Chain A
Amino acid sequence: MSASAPVTKKPVIAAPRPMSRAEKIFILSVLGPALIHFTIFTITPVTLSLILSFSEWQLLGTPQFVGLKNYIELFHDETFRIGMKNTFLYVLMYVPPMLIVPLGLAMLINRPGIMPQVFRSIYFLPVVTSFVVFALIFKWIFSAEPTSLANQFMHLLGLPAQSWLANENQALPLLAFLGILKGAAWNMIYFIAGLQGIPDTFYEAARIDGANRRQVFRNVTLPLLRPTLYFVSVLTTIGAFQVFDSAFLLTQGGPNRATTTIVYFVYQAGFEQFRMGYASASAYVLLVLVFVVTYIQKRWLGKPADWY
């Protein structure tokens, strides 16, 4: 292209028509409540906790400014290091199955008829069950007694009894397993929506070209599902980094800190040791981590589906 080539013309966009008073009031009244709520319950706490992360505060009295002390202490805190390691391990054990299993389920039941509908509802049951109830049943199944359901099952298979949640090598994978059982169907719903958004014409074209099932999946379904995949993987990853309730309900961060995650650490620092500044600092480290990982995901997966 030569230097003298004409500059591409910008598309002409009509200048925005000035808004009438009534329109302004309408927009404000629609956005207003959400913005007020967002400011009070999200922006303010997030900003305040950033300030708090540079201070020491025990929930009562006035916060003392301490500069970077909390952050420096964090990087010397062995429990925090263990929490980081456990959180990353959890993400690795939780996120891939949370993409693969729900996608498989979605493809299985994404077809017309009554039975797929029935299965969809059955698969969705864990999602609507209270997490506490779910976790307590899970704890009962995987308790360390030889008489527990999981150990009875091991016995049937002729395998030795395990101590499950009381075993430091098994506890974290079990928590990931619990999370997958609980949440897989939620992601399945996203994938069903994504699958239904792919126009049939592509599948027809592929079939006419003689593509087999695997080829259709690799060359049609997967690329066209990328926006859904991106959305689901970002949400799932963020959720995984924030894992807390299962560690709190089932193992109290143990045994031997094997299930102490970053958010469990934040909880302990804030609501058991009442070190609000320290807890805020660790929460901000988590925020930065999640931000970086999400950014990487965006670079990798976050392109529009190129079917145009």
Chain B
Amino acid sequence: MAVCFSVLLCGCAPQASDDKSEGSNVTVRMWAFPMLPELRDHKLYDELVADFEQANPGVKVKVEMLPWAGRSQKMLTAIAGNRAPDAVYLNLDYMPRFVDQGVLEPFDDYITPEEKADYPPEVLDAVTLEGKMWLLPLLRNPNIGIFNTNLLREAGFDPADPPRTWEQLDKAVRAMTRDTNGDGVVDQWGVGFIFGADTVNSTYWPLLWQAGGDVLTTDGKRAAFDGPEGEEALALAVNWFRDGIIPKSFIAMGASEFAMGRLGYLYGGGPMEAANLLRDAPDVPLTVGPVLEHRDRVSYSTIGSYAMFKQSRHKKETAAWLSYMTSPKVMARFCKETNYVPTKSSVGSIYADDPIFSIFEREAAYCRPDVKSVFARQIMMHLAPEMQAAALGKKSPREALDAAAKAVNEMLERADK
């Protein structure tokens, strides 16, 4: 019995015991999430950790690879239980909430002005809140769009100069929608535009921004997506769905039509989708389209970054490790392996010879980061079912946006009280 209890008690003891300094040894714990096939991330991190440890005697780094699913629950429970790691890989959309909850440590006191100056202003601005820098940006994930060049050519468009405006795209996706075997049923579609909640930021936000609208008012206190720009943007996607240009399965999540060579344009496709398609469907020839333009030429890109938790007992060492991970040489290597776009200016071009990924690199400059609001995710959750209702013809785009805006405004007012 006594043994049982002592085991239980050890289990409950705070984390401090295992990262307490042994002599001068300090262990930095970091949570990361897999980005490479077959979990090759372990190998990549192992090499980087070995390199860092050699240059920093006395500091050990332990990278724990966790599944993406349920990561927010895991982080919050760890923080609430005072067992959070020192650092974590974090997408930008988590930042406002975590800052609001006071769980992050800003980097301003830990990195040099030169390091800071190496980030372009729009990247720096994205990770700054209340005048402090909360994340160390590592990579960009520009969500732009991927064309099947065969289908584009068959529809009479030049794959070397893919559609760049709404009008051109609309013509192209309609021309690419066909019944190829003559059985009276469409079996090749123009565009894959997902109406699900996880993807509103890479599907509807870009259309909204291209139309000249925005998600929230500048003070962040009211919905702004329900203006005429938002309606114009939603109507474009809704009409595609109602006219059968979008496969039905895209109502909630993406499907495999592109990999099967039956989809002309994967709307919002980014480097990860391109890399997966090149690997898994090598017979489907593809190219990346330019960021679309309507009133504005703009799309969406999250900024994959590292964050340091306030709970960390080894902030100096943690910052040193993250500073190493975002140093130009390591950043270039990490991005090259994961197919993402580096964030620091001094890294320069890493895809100059690559016909696909050089486009992502070039177009990243036209991409906006996540909506800087504590409620960024919830807004998407309120919007998605309304967008689906509009696509299914239950509501007009106007009614759908009004309903979503009402719910979002109520949520924002509740929070403001």
For A251, list chain B residues within 8 Å (CB). Answer: 252
Q: Are B73 and A166 in contact (CB under 8 A)?
A: no
- Residues 182-202 of B contacting A (Cβ, < 8 Å): 185-187, 195-198
Determine if B112 is an interface residue (Cβ-Cβ < 8 Å).
no
Which of these binds chain A: B13-21, B75-83, B358-366?
B75-83
Q: Kindly state the separation between the CA atoms of A251 and B388 in the bound complex, as whole angstroms.
A: 12
Q: Are B394 and A145 in contact (CB under 8 A)?
A: no
A268–chain B nearest beta-carbon distance, Å: 7
Q: Kindly state the separation between the CA atoms of A46 and B103 in the bound complex, as whole angstroms.
A: 28
Q: Kindly state the separation between the CA atoms of A61 and B101 in the bound complex, as whole angstroms.
A: 8
Which of these binds chain A: B130-138, B221-229, B291-299, B376-384?
B376-384
A146–chain B nearest beta-carbon distance, Å: 5
Which of these binds chain A: B143-151, B152-160, B232-240, B243-251?
B243-251
For B407, list chain A residues within 8 Å (CB). Answer: 78
For A7, list chain B residues within 8 Å (CB). Answer: none
Q: Are A273 and B249 in contact (CB under 8 A)?
A: no
Q: Kindly state the separation between the CA atoms of A59 and B250 in the bound complex, as whole angstroms.
A: 33
Q: Are B196 and A254 in contact (CB under 8 A)?
A: yes
Closest residue of chain A to B70, judged by CB?
Answer: A271
- Known A60-B79, A161-B185; judge A144-B247 contact (CB<8 A): yes
Determine if A242 is an interface residue (Cβ-Cβ < 8 Å).
no
For B252, list chain A residues within 8 Å (CB). Answer: 165-166, 251-252, 254-255
A168–chain B nearest beta-carbon distance, Å: 6
Q: How many residues of B contact A (CB 8 A)?
A: 38
Query: A141-175, CB under 8 A of B: which get 1 and which 0?
Result: 00111110000000000000101011110000000
Closest residue of chain A to B380, judged by CB?
Answer: A272
Q: Kindly state the separation between the CA atoms of A165 and B251 in the bound complex, as whole angstroms.
A: 9
Q: How many residues of A contact B (CB 8 A)?
A: 30
Determine if A58 is an interface residue (Cβ-Cβ < 8 Å).
yes
Determine if A298 is an interface residue (Cβ-Cβ < 8 Å).
no
Q: Kindly state the separation between the CA atoms of A151 and B156 in the bound complex, as whole angstroms.
A: 31
Q: Are A60 and B103 in contact (CB under 8 A)?
A: yes
Query: A232-270, CB under 8 A of B: which get 1 and which 0?
Result: 000000000000000000011111110010000000100
B101–chain A nearest beta-carbon distance, Å: 5
A36–chain B nearest beta-carbon distance, Å: 11
- Residues 263-297 of A contacting B (Cβ, < 8 Å): 268, 271-274
Q: Are B101 and A58 in contact (CB under 8 A)?
A: yes
Interface hub of B76, B248, B391 (most chain A Cβ within 10 A): B248
Determine if B255 is an interface residue (Cβ-Cβ < 8 Å).
yes
B182–chain A nearest beta-carbon distance, Å: 13
Q: Kindly state the separation between the CA atoms of A3 and B389 in the bound complex, as whole angstroms.
A: 72
Q: Are B392 and A256 in contact (CB under 8 A)?
A: yes
Closest residue of chain B to A171, judged by CB?
Answer: B252
Choose from A61, A79, A165, A255 the contact partner of B392 (Cβ within 8 Å): A255
Q: Kindly state the separation between the CA atoms of A146 and B187 in the bound complex, as whole angstroms.
A: 7
Choose from A61, A79, A143 the contact partner of B249 (Cβ within 8 Å): A143
B318–chain A nearest beta-carbon distance, Å: 20
Q: Kindly state the separation between the CA atoms of A255 and B395 in the bound complex, as whole angstroms.
A: 13
Determine if B385 is an interface residue (Cβ-Cβ < 8 Å).
yes
For A144, list chain B residues within 8 Å (CB). Answer: 247-249, 251, 255
Choose from A60, A145, A161, A254 the contact partner of B251 (Cβ within 8 Å): A254
- Known A60-B103, A61-B101, A146-B187; judge A257-B385 contact (CB<8 A): yes
- Known A59-B80, A254-B385, A272-B381; judge A163-B249 contact (CB<8 A): yes
- Known A145-B249, A146-B187; judge A60-B80 contact (CB<8 A): yes
Determine if B257 is an interface residue (Cβ-Cβ < 8 Å).
yes
A172–chain B nearest beta-carbon distance, Å: 13
Closest residue of chain A to B411, judged by CB?
Answer: A273
- Residues 80-110 of B contacting A (Cβ, < 8 Å): 80, 97, 101, 103
Determine if B253 is an interface residue (Cβ-Cβ < 8 Å).
yes
- Known A163-B248, A168-B392, A272-B381; judge A252-B196 contact (CB<8 A): yes
For B392, list chain A residues within 8 Å (CB). Answer: 168, 255-256
Q: Are B381 and A268 in contact (CB under 8 A)?
A: yes
For A257, list chain B residues within 8 Å (CB). Answer: 385, 388-389
Q: Kindly state the separation between the CA atoms of A257 and B103 in the bound complex, as whole angstroms.
A: 33
Q: Kindly state the separation between the CA atoms of A168 and B97 in the bound complex, as whole angstroms.
A: 33
For A59, list chain B residues within 8 Å (CB). Answer: 76-77, 80
For B197, list chain A residues within 8 Å (CB). Answer: 252, 254
Closest residue of chain B to A58, judged by CB?
Answer: B101
Query: A166-191, CB under 8 A of B: which get 1 and which 0?
Result: 11100000000000000000000000
For B103, list chain A residues within 8 Å (CB). Answer: 60
Q: Are A166 and B185 in contact (CB under 8 A)?
A: no
Q: Kindly state the separation between the CA atoms of A268 and B385 in the bound complex, as whole angstroms.
A: 13
Choose from B101, B185, B253, B385 the contact partner of A146 (Cβ within 8 Å): B185
Q: Are B388 and A254 in contact (CB under 8 A)?
A: yes
B391–chain A nearest beta-carbon distance, Å: 8
Q: Are B385 and A256 in contact (CB under 8 A)?
A: yes
Q: Are B249 and A256 in contact (CB under 8 A)?
A: no
Q: Are A166 and B385 in contact (CB under 8 A)?
A: no
Q: Kindly state the separation between the CA atoms of A271 and B69 in the bound complex, as whole angstroms.
A: 12
Q: Kindly state the separation between the CA atoms of A257 and B381 in the bound complex, as whole angstroms.
A: 11
Q: Kindly state the separation between the CA atoms of A130 and B92 in the bound complex, as whole angstroms.
A: 35
Q: Kindly state the separation between the CA atoms of A260 and B198 in the bound complex, as whole angstroms.
A: 15
- Known A59-B80, A145-B257, A255-B392; judge A273-B381 contact (CB<8 A): yes
Choose from A78, A143, A161, A256 the contact partner of B394 (Cβ within 8 Å): A256
B178–chain A nearest beta-carbon distance, Å: 13
Q: Are A145 and B388 in contact (CB under 8 A)?
A: no
Interfacial residues, chain A to chain B (CB-CB below 8 A): 58-61, 78-79, 143-147, 161, 163, 165-168, 251-257, 260, 268, 271-274
Q: Which 3 pairs, one residue from A and one from B, show the smallest C-beta to C-beta distance?
A: A163-B248, A144-B248, A144-B249
**Can you identify 22 A-B contacts, CB atoms within 8 angstroms?**
A60-B101, A78-B407, A143-B249, A143-B255, A144-B247, A144-B248, A144-B249, A144-B251, A145-B255, A146-B187, A147-B187, A165-B249, A166-B251, A168-B392, A252-B252, A254-B196, A255-B195, A255-B252, A255-B392, A256-B385, A268-B381, A274-B76
Extra inter-chain contacts (17) besides given A145-B249, A272-B377, CB under 8 Å:
A59-B80, A60-B76, A60-B103, A78-B407, A143-B249, A144-B247, A145-B257, A147-B187, A163-B249, A165-B249, A166-B249, A252-B198, A254-B197, A255-B388, A255-B391, A271-B70, A274-B76
